[in-house]
Structure 1
Amino acid sequence: MKKILIIIFLLSANSAFALCAGPMLDPITRVRWNCFLPISIGGIPIGTSGNPLADMADRSMGTQSPVCLCMDPLPRIGITLGYREPIRIIESVKDPFCFPTLGFGMSSSAWGSGVKGRNSKPAKDFTNTHMFIFLPFTMMEIFTDLICMQTDSKYTGVLGGLSIAYMSEFDITKRSDQAALLLTPEVVLFANPLAIMACQIPDSIASLAEYTIPPLYWCAGNHSVFPTSNNTMSMSNFTEASEVNASKLIFSMHRTLQLWGSFGAQGLCSYYPMPIWNKMQYRLQTAMPVPDNFCRRLGQPSIVWNRFLNPPGAPNNDNMVFILWRKRDCCAF
């Protein structure tokens, strides 16, 4: 994947940048570091994110035990540690091969025009999605002296830093609803009004209280993640469609075991396979074009959080960047 990105960069050196103009992602000013809080040490919460409902939800899903025991391979006793960490950058862009995180992109004449979000007014809003591995705590060596933080390289194959992990331009399952059935054959069970209504009412209302309903795994708030292609039904604003496609990518990464479970008693000693995602594990924060002030639950209605985050005329308008925050519980030693 790194070789592919290098080729794209070299080819784009002589092409117009009008489609994807703007500064690179600044992790200092555009990442809301208050999303890291509250941290829990030995079951005692410390600090606040500024969102009381979100803090309460995090405390309810974390382990309450002050001590823990892991076999690694010998018995290891430690104290429980819980927090949220940024782990991925997700781009949802209307222009193919646009990388707002890196501050460059290719002209559509080189690769063929993509489906435009707002101008062409299609029946469906299509965006391409990219995922970057983003481990700033590892880059800054925060908590890396704790054994529980050293398992990232073991279970994700990542030593730290920033690297591109996924591009939908090369994934047929993101362009074709039929191809997406290969990953999610159960979609035929949820293509009915009752399943859709379950998303629009219970899961959407729960997200307003900073909760989700894990058994409704086909839902992302108001919307369904099925089909998992990036062909999202046309919505009132492009920002909301982009967030739905970001949620679909997270779902797909769990289905293919590229993202694992990391919270609760089961996650104290190691990550664990989670082919069916638990939405409570994650929060999203808009970083570009305009950064949001808070992290939010997946599927939260856009009327709550979409406060001029994608203004017309802004650099990289309609090319969205989200920071993915993960709930992490571990046995610190």
Structure 2
Amino acid sequence: MLLAAAAALCFTGTAQSQQMCNGSFPNLITDVCYDCIFPISIMGGFVNLGGSSEDYSTGVSGAPICICTNNLGVGTPVSLWEPRYMVDTTNKPGCMPLLGGIDINTPYNAAEYGGEKTTTGALKGKRKSAFMHVNEYVNPIMTALGVVVNNPCLDNRSFDVPFLSWADPTWNDDALSLMLTPYAYPFAGVPSVAAELPDAISATVGFPMEILFWVAGAWGPMYPLNGNVAIANTPEQVSHLMIARLFAKMHAAGAGQATAGQEALNSCGALGVPQLVMDKRQYKTNRVFPFPDNLCTPIGRPLPFQEIGAARPQDKDYGYIVFQRKDCCATTSLAN
């Protein structure tokens, strides 16, 4: 028995150590679905570009001008979906698919490999769970490409890597993760399952329901904000859920901002205002690796089209561009 157990451990360790890190740098010209930027509204809706594209009401005033007291500026309201982030998901700690598939030696959690696990219960039959790592990159594409120069509404930050799940001690620990969001305890179990269907329906026909912040529609429960997924249907579903949880986690930690709504507009800045409980409507994804899906996917939307050809056995790593809804006051300063 001991020999068998030792052999099994050796086999598992060997299999994990041989796991490849696949990836490629996204082509920002051809891989990104730029239709996801639309609709663009200017002057409170007086000018609309791409009006047939999906959007939701952020409650912003329809006034054609806006005023900023923080920089003595007056301008015009502008709304759009800005491609601000890249996110990749992987089973291998230290693997960074969207950085060309580089594989770094992690000083922490080096043995915490992701993957799927099937268990058999006495009453519920077989159930598949999963664990996955995620990396976040700040990469404002429109600024990086120089499409618009010196625009106060666009994120002008340089490339950065604000989150690596292998470096987060809560990413594989449910109890530790819930300490960050104690308000999520009442929504575990039945309340979570009951809210998934209406949220999924809402996301199917448009965008998810802001009030149901504890679920991610058809993707599963939002909490705990880590890599453990109790019910894993497909790799694409798990991967999308990792994105939703990542941004909910960044908001809960005070590192995520709301860029849509009247308060964001009045802030007259490109980065938005703090928002501890994420309004999940403000994000949508576009897969660029292992191959582009050319789709704009709000959080919680069922993924039948995204999953076409995306569940190949060799695909363990995925990469996405994340668009964020933005309401901004494009100002001309009066201070000088």
Could you state the TM-score of these two structures normalised by the residue count of structure 1? 0.82
Q: Structure 1 residue aligned with 2:211, among 209, 215, 221?
A: 215
Could you tell me which residue of structure 1 aligns to residue 7 of structure 2?
A: none
Shift of 1:27: 1.8
Shift of 1:112: 4.4
Could you tell me which residue of structure 2 aligns to residue 130 of structure 1?
A: 135
> Does residue 34 of the first structure (1) align with residue 21 of the second (2)?
no
Shift of 1:327: 0.7
Aligned 8 A contact 1:17 1:104 in 2: no
Aligned 8 A contact 2:23 2:96 in 1: no
> Does residue 225 of the first structure (1) align with residue 217 of the second (2)?
no
Aligned 8 A contact 1:63 1:329 in 2: no
Cα distance in structure 1, aligned partners of 2:325 and 2:262: 12
CA RMSD of aligned residues (A): 2.5
Could you tell me which residue of structure 2 aligns to residue 281 of structure 1?
A: 282
Cα distance in structure 1, aligned partners of 2:133 and 2:286: 18
**Cα pair distance change 1:109/1:170, threshold 3 Å:** closer
Deviations 1:35-83 (A, max 9, x none): 111211111353328xx4x52x346665532211111243x22111111
Residue correspondence of structure 1 range 213-292 to structure 2 within 5 A: 213-222=209-218, 223-268=220-265, 269-270=268-269, 271-292=272-293
Aligned 8 A contact 1:217 1:277 in 2: yes
Q: Structure 2 residue aligned with 1:186, among 155, 158, 183?
A: 183
Aligned 8 A contact 1:292 1:309 in 2: no
Cα distance in structure 2, aligned partners of 1:285 and 1:109: 28
Cα distance in structure 1, aligned partners of 2:150 and 2:18: 42
Aligned 8 A contact 1:18 1:107 in 2: no
**Cα pair distance change 1:47/1:131, threshold 3 Å:** same
Cα distance in structure 2, aligned partners of 1:115 and 1:148: 40
Shift of 1:206: 0.2
Aligned length: 300
Residue correspondence of structure 1 range 193-204 to structure 2 within 5 A: 193-199=190-196, 201-204=197-200
The structure that has the greater radius of gyration is 2
Shift of 1:212: 1.5
The structure with the greater share of residues assigned to helix is 1
Unmatched 5+ residue regions in structure 1?
Answer: 1-15, 153-158
Unmatched 5+ residue regions in structure 2?
Answer: 1-16, 120-127, 332-336
**Cα pair distance change 1:136/1:117, threshold 3 Å:** same
**Cα pair distance change 1:257/1:40, threshold 3 Å:** same
